[in-house]
Chains A and B, each alone.
Chain A
Amino acid sequence: MKFEKPHRREPSEPQLAAMIDVFSILIIFLIAGTAMDSSVLEIPGDLFLAETTSKSNSVNAPQVTLKDGLVTIKFIDEKIGIDEIELDKLNSPNVIRLGQKLKNYLNQVGVGNKKNPTDKQLLQSINLVADKDTPYKHVYSTIKFFRIHGFQNSILVGTENNGKNN
Chain B
Amino acid sequence: MHDFLKKTKRRHVKEIPLAPILDLLTVVIFFLILSASFIEIRQDTLPPSSTVVSKSDPLVPLVIPLNPKLILGKNNGEIVLLLKWFGQTPGQIIKKLKLSKSNYDANLKQNTNEIVKDFMKKFPKESQIQLGWQGNIKYQTVLTVVDGVLTEMKDLVFISPEEAETLFQKSF
Contacts and interface: CB of A to CB of B under 8 A. Distances in A.
Contacts of B161: 136-137, 140
Nearest to B150: A54
Q: For the complex, would chain A's binding face be called helix, strand, loop or mixed by DSSP majority? A: mixed
B32 A30 contact: yes
A50 B45 contact: no
Given A20-B18, A34-B36, A132-B140, A140 B160 contact: yes
B25 A135 contact: no
B107 to A, nearest CB: 9
B42 A54 contact: yes
Interface in A1-57: 16-17, 19-20, 23-24, 26-27, 30-31, 33-34, 37-38, 40-41, 43, 49-57
Contacts of B147: 52-54
B143 interface: yes
B13 interface: no
Nearest to A53: B147
A165 B25 contact: no
Contacts of A127: 43
Contact of A161 (B26, B105, B133, B135): B105
Contact of A27 (B19, B29, B42): B29
A78 interface: no
A109 to B, nearest CB: 17
Interface in A83-117: none
**How many B residues are at the interface, by size bracket?**
35 or more
Nearest to B161: A137
Interface in A143-158: 143-144, 147, 152-158
Interface stretch (B46-54, B78-86, B87-95, B116-124): B46-54
Closest 8 CB pairs of A and B: A137-B135, A152-B48, A16-B18, A160-B40, A23-B25, A58-B41, A30-B32, A132-B140
Given A30-B29, A136-B138, A156-B46, 19 more contacts: A17-B18, A23-B25, A30-B36, A41-B41, A53-B109, A54-B42, A132-B138, A132-B140, A133-B138, A135-B138, A136-B139, A139-B139, A147-B49, A152-B48, A153-B45, A156-B43, A156-B142, A158-B44, A159-B40
